[in-house]
Amino acid sequence: MKTITLFAILFFAAMQNGFTSVTDTPDGKKNMAVVAPELILVNHVGFKPQSEKIALLRVKAGKFAIVNCKSGKEVFTGKPGPLKYWEHSGDSVSTADFSTLTVPGTYQLVIGKNAVVSYPFVINRDVYSDIAKASLKAFYLNRSGMDIAEQYAGKWARAAGHPDTMVLVHASAATASRPEGTVISGPGGWYDAGDYNKYVVNSGITTYTLLLFCQMYPEYCKTLNGNIPESGNGIPDVYNELLYNLRWMLTMQDPADGGVYHKLTNKTFCDFVMPDKATDHRYVVMKSTAASLDFAATMAMASRVFAKTTYPELKMLSQTCLAVAERAYAWAKANPAVYYQNPSDISTGAYDDNQLNDEFFWASAEIGLATGNVSMVSGKEIMDQKIMVPSWDYSGMSGIVSLALSESTGFETQRNLAKKQLLMYADKLVSKAQQSPYHVSIDFFKWGSNSDVANIALLKLVAARISKNPVYYKSVQGDLDYLLGRNATSYCFVTGFGAKQVMQIHHRPSGADGITEPCPGFLAGGPNTIVLNDCPGITRSTFPAKSYTDSQCSYSTNEIAINWNAPLFFLLAAADAQDK
């Protein structure tokens, strides 16, 4: 995008969406007209008073002002930095820093005499409270086998779908004790993404992420009321929500040999119908080494976290989790190369992975920490891990994180090595953000790029915890701002929030319920150029940071997924917890 001067702003503004839009402030006052909002990129939700506050300007300007929406008065003026080009977005932006503005209120950023006016944003100590709760509530809205009640879901209430109490054993999963066609029960759990299936590999990294949050922020968990059916039962709601999925995962282990089925699924993806209308037969499909290892790691992590709580039910469950983890790990050791592939009659998500050194490392690290068996993790294995953003198909970093945070006696050598590896990578991430015109660490845009931004922030938060260095918290703000609007598309990528909202997510309940707004609290997958032709007739940008469309057909950019919402919740709730 060429540099735009103030002389051209008014003409350009008239061509932009939002030229005359007016929105309400929380106190009922009217904000100024939003003019040419695409020229100002800002976190639509807002900032805590003491946080760094940065907007990006896609226009050459000598100064900018921050205006209080209630009084209409300028409360801050500043001079933006130089325009810098970002190769991933194909445009140039300058930095408008107003970090010293700390007075709570609702504001807009203005260039010229209201020639360009940003979307409104809030400065408030509790600015992330509602969106953090919504990102957790999204898991409830995606529960399988349960009526989603109006009391908890409002207008997104729906009938239960997929009780999964009569699931068939697929031919690929058949054994002498459970031959093909055997009926088993696998109720509960979360729908994985925009479809209605449930996958152990993806459930593992998702549940682990929520368990990690419980480990790092136990006091915050005690105070968070998620307004779900289990609220008030004596167990914090973050635990309550992850338990709904963890108990489903327990049903995916074959009691005869300890191996774990890869997924519970229809044979094909269903149409965009509500869950109770999707009534095709359900199957457990093939045991796999990856599923067994991810299951083992997650259950071992759960056993550690539950054992340290004061809740009797969780302390008892801790013992069960460790026992099933060890059985699954033993099956994987005996079957180290059972790589998942979809059978010929199954066409739902594969989550296939033929490189399992990282899964073996993660599972051995978690079981070693849970049992106190130091011999399960060697220094060489730690050093051999790829130090990168964690994802469903690369879980070695999860083992690094667990070891770095561990306080277990005897693991000092492993802990120090893991800390060194993690902090070196976190420093690289911070350096990337400091050099980026967009003030973010991400410089790759694969499928689900927004989840990579959230997971990058998660790693920085772990680095801050183990180092006590505030530079990581400062960098996390940039990742948060990106997801909430300060990105090349100007969308707030969390449904139900922001001035420019994602509306057409690839999510069957949201697409079939007849409600204009999508289920709130979900993180849209985000821009990437991996698949450009999922929406016929829609041409996406070839710049990866702009290659996004808010269209239901765009499963490559606008689907939701549980493993994307878990780091989103982690980031939002950690931000909400800070300074409280």
The answer, yes or no, to whether residue 77 has pLDDT greater than 80, is yes
The answer on 176 and 44 residing in a single domain is no
Task: Give residue-wise pLDDT tens across range 133-175.
Answer: 999 999 999 999 999 999 999 999 999 999 999 999 999 999 9
For residue 238, what are its two tokens? 């973050």
> For residue 562, is it within any domain?
no
Query: What pLDDT score does 436 carry?
Result: 98
> For residue 180, is it within any domain?
yes
DSSP state of 39: G
- Residue 549, helix vs strand vs coil: coil
Per annotation, catalytic residue among 195, 359, 452, 534: 195
The answer on 33 and 17 residing in a single domain is yes
Task: Give residue-wise pLDDT tens across range 363-410.
Answer: 999 999 999 999 999 999 999 999 999 999 999 999 999 999 999 999
Q: Give me the mean pLDDT over the 231-235 stretch.
A: 97
Task: Give residue-wise pLDDT tens across range 49-76.
Answer: 999 999 999 999 999 999 999 999 999 9
Q: How far apart are CA 454 and CA 572, in angstroms?
A: 9
The answer on 391 and 265 residing in a single domain is yes
The answer on 274 and 240 residing in a single domain is yes
Active-site residue flag, 170? no
Contacts of 257 (CB under 8 A, 6+ apart): 175, 331
The answer, yes or no, to whether residue 229 has pLDDT greater than 90, is yes
Q: How far apart are CA 563 and CA 318, in angstroms?
A: 23
Chain centre distance of CA 424: 23
Task: Give residue-wise pLDDT tens across range 252-295.
Answer: 999 999 999 999 999 999 999 999 999 999 999 999 999 999 99
The answer on 142 and 44 residing in a single domain is no
> For residue 510, is it within any domain?
no
**Domain final position from 123, 143, 172:** 123
Per annotation, catalytic residue among 44, 506, 513, 576: 506
Q: Give me the mean pLDDT over the 108-126 stretch.
A: 96
Task: Specify the CATH number for the domain of residue 106.
Answer: 2.60.40.10
Query: What average pLDDT is seen over the chain?
Result: 94
Q: Give me the mean pLDDT over the 456-479 stretch.
A: 97
Query: What pLDDT score does 579 carry?
Result: 84
> For residue 232, is it within any domain?
yes
**Domain final position from 123, 140, 166:** 123
For residue 567, what are its two tokens? 């780091």
Length reported for the chain? 580
**Domain final position from 95, 123, 151:** 123
> For residue 495, is it within any domain?
no
The answer, yes or no, to whether residue 99 has pLDDT greater than 70, is yes
Task: Specify the CATH number for the domain of residue 216.
Answer: 1.50.10.10
> For residue 537, is it within any domain?
no
Query: What pLDDT score does 32 carry?
Result: 74
> For residue 579, is it within any domain?
no
The answer on 430 and 308 residing in a single domain is yes
pTM over 0.75: yes
The answer on 209 and 115 residing in a single domain is no
The answer on 119 and 133 residing in a single domain is no
* Pairing label, strands 64-68, 74-78: antiparallel
The pLDDT-based confidence of 6 (bands split at 50, 70, 90) is very low
The answer on 229 and 94 residing in a single domain is no
The answer on 168 and 31 residing in a single domain is no
CB atoms within 10 A of CB 44: 24
Helix residue ranges, H only, 177-259: 200-216, 218-223, 237-251
Least Cα distance to 193 among 575, 450, 560, 457 occurs for 560
The values of phi and psi at residue 92, to 5°, are -110, 140
Active-site residue flag, 452? no
What DSSP line would sit under 462-492, residue for residue?
A: HHHHHH--THHHHHHHHHHHHHTT-STT--B
Total domains in the chain come to: 2
Rg (CA), the chain: 24
The answer, yes or no, to whether residue 27 has pLDDT greater than 80, is no
Active-site residue flag, 195? yes
Query: What pLDDT score does 26 carry?
Result: 39
The pLDDT-based confidence of 33 (bands split at 50, 70, 90) is confident
Q: How far apart are CA 372 and CA 116, in angstroms?
A: 60
The answer on 271 and 185 residing in a single domain is yes
Q: What are the residues facing 511 on neighbouring strands?
A: none
The answer, yes or no, to whether residue 504 has pLDDT greater than 60, is yes
DSSP state of 342: -
For residue 463, what are its two tokens? 């680095």
Q: How far apart are CA 576 and CA 132, in angstroms?
A: 7
Q: Which residues form the domain of 136?
A: 129-441
Chain centre distance of CA 440: 16
The answer on 173 and 116 residing in a single domain is no
> For residue 529, is it within any domain?
no
